[in-house]
Amino acid sequence: MSAFITGIGWITVGGEGMGRNADPFELSEGSLPKITGKKTDNDKTFRRFGRLDRYSKLGVRAIAYALQDAGLDAWKEKRDIGIIVSTVFGCIATDIDYYNTVMMKNGLLADPNLFTYTLPNSFLGHASSIFGLTGINFVINDKTNSGISALRSALDCISLVECNTMLAGICDVERPPDFPIAGNPAPGSIFVMIEKDLERQTRPYGRLSVDNSGNVFFNESEIKDISACVRRCLDAKT
Amino acid sequence: MLGESGIKPVRRFRTDSYNSSIAACIEDLEPTGNRSMVYDMLDRLFITLGPVPVDSFLITASTKAGIDNLERLRHGIPADAHDCLLSHLSDHISKRFKLTGGGMHISASCASSTIALAQGASLIELGRADSILICCFDIVTEFVFSGFCALQAMSPVPCMPFDRNRKGMNIGEGAAALLLMNSEKAKKEDRAPIGALLGWAVSNDATHITAPAMDGSGLILAIRKALKKSKLPEDAISAICAHGTGTVYNDLMELVSFKDVFRERKMPVFSVKGAIGHTMGAAGGIEAALCLKGIANGVVPPTAGFGSPEKGAEGLVSNEPAMIDGDYMLSTNSGFGGVNAAVIIGKGIRS
């Protein structure tokens, strides 16, 4: 089964951007830049962006870039587009922030807004409401931030005609500094837009496919992580 | 089946700061050493599970299982922080059954385990796996309890799904394990099928992250897609296991959705949350298991706590068990993030 990659968006330590802008791409360790909800085509910001926790801001921003890169950011009617994201830490940093509000005054000051973002899929709902996306969406909690599980599951959804257009990606903020968890995946969010058919005037980056064993390929060459996929897409473009 | 409720005063943590003091807790559930309470629950679950083929693919589902260890750590009590990572719990289960087929953990709020079932069925349909172990679990913690209280979503009295006097939800804890196989694998393993997963679908409201779309558009989409997948007409469905949380908006949205899809048909619609609470990420898996039992026995459970029907629930919801005539049931769940999931469960494997 194969489908086309038509859009790429990211925010990483190396910066933020989209494939067609020729923005420099790098997924590496360090601190993420400030994440703003400012739309790129005007001065407006995404609805209720300021209420989001940092993990959600990161994911929504990267999704916005991927949709824009694919030319699918503008909409009038809701669309059957799904989102699958892989994450290592999920919203653990938000969990800690929220529980700190519970510990004050024995729960009297528990913050309802923060609690809303203690589910790692909340931002998928936020992105869906901003961009009118009604397709399947869920989070895969992974041990690494390779993102292969999200790419594979997105291709599976397309293969089974559950959705013809899918966003797949990764999302992780920095490991909470005072939380004793092993591992330190490079923080950042990357999303790719995957489309079964090319009905629009969009030049794809290439073909993404999955074999019967679940291995994922870009232009028939196996990829082991989403950042390698993005690099190959950008190389294929130039 | 008796319509009794397991929703009782919480003893696990202080509730005097909250607008509710009740939940459906497993009474003697405890953390062992530095591990989360969820391990105790899983150990009990697995006693009754029986053998699992080692080549099974594992799909786990939960929202916040293991978050009790974050609570303990913040209070300076030794605990394994890794239990807060849902992939860690998935690893534990994989090792417990010596599974070699790989796996993944799915998180999608209260639809987590329904989506796990859907993904499991998809992997079998794609030929990627012959056997899938679905394992879902969630526990009652102050973390979650305080959050729903802060959102004013919790009922101070045992919840009353689809009742016009309902006051909100109560959380509960629970776990379920379901083993999915294709027919060849089931034959090879000499397992008699309990039922079949015939249709499934997931959608998003694209409206709001906590409030459901009041026109039911998201849930309607999921139900219609699941029906299409199952190749069954609407009138083949003989009962609905609703999400039925007991919140004003969820229950209204579901009634609107069911009416849109099934029109004026009168068939049993039930919610188990008045009995076992809202088990969050485990809800869909537990409810699917109950649907299997319901279809096999031709009877569905009562909706505990239900008394005076909300408009639109008349003749559908009952506080008595209801006989069903048919082979197919619909089970739905909706949750934060605007997610909706629907599965259609049948009596046996169709040719």
Supply the ipTM of this predicted assembly. 0.96
Please give the backbone phi and psi of residue A219, each rounded to the nearest 5 degrees, phi first.
45, 45
Per-residue model confidence as pLDDT tens digits over A190-218: 999 999 988 777 889 999 999 999 999 99
Active-site entry in B110, B136, B149, B241: B110
Q: Tell me, what's the pLDDT at B348?
A: 73
Q: Tell me, what's the pLDDT at A37?
A: 81
pLDDT > 70 in chain A, percent: 97
Between A178 and B278, where is the model more confident? B278
What integer best gives the mean pLDDT of chain A? 93
Per-residue model confidence as pLDDT tens digits over B60-92: 999 999 999 999 999 999 999 999 999 999 999
Give the A:B interface size as CB pairs under 8 Å.
Answer: 189
**Rounded to a whole number, what is the distance in angstroms from the first to the last CA of chain B?**
32
Distance from CA of A79 to the nearest CA of B (A): 9
Q: Tell me, what's the pLDDT at B349?
A: 59
Consecutive H or E run containing B148: helix B142-150
Using the structure block, give the residue that is written with the tokens 């700061």.
B17
Gap between the Cα atoms of A18 and A45, Å rounded: 18
Is pLDDT at B157 greater than 70 in this prediction?
A: yes
Q: Closest CB to A102: pick one of B126, B146, B148.
A: B146
Residue type, A131: F
Distance from CA of A22 to the nearest CA of B (A): 31
Residue of B92, B100, B146, B210 to mutate when probing chain A, most A C-beta within 10 A? B146
Mean pLDDT score, B187-191: 94
pLDDT > 90 in chain A, percent: 81
Chain B residue closest in CA terms to A139 = B107
**Rounded to a whole number, what is the distance in angstroms from the first to the last CA of chain A?**
26
- Burial-class residue A197 by CB neighbours within 10 Å (0-12, 13-18, 19+): exposed
Per-residue confidence band for A147, with pLDDT thresholds at 50, 70 and 90: very high
Residue of B15, B104, B204, B207 to mutate when probing chain A, most A C-beta within 10 A? B204
Question: Radius of gyration of chain A from Cα atoms?
Answer: 17
Q: Tell me, what's the pLDDT at A184?
A: 83
Is pLDDT at B223 greater than 70 in this prediction?
A: yes
DSSP string for B14-55: --TTSS--EEB--TT----TTS-HHHHHHHHHHHTT----TT
The model scores a pTM over 0.95: yes
Q: Tell me, what's the pLDDT at B351?
A: 42
Per-residue model confidence as pLDDT tens digits over B253-291: 999 999 999 999 999 999 999 999 999 999 999 999 999
| Residue B291 falls in the annotated catalytic set | no
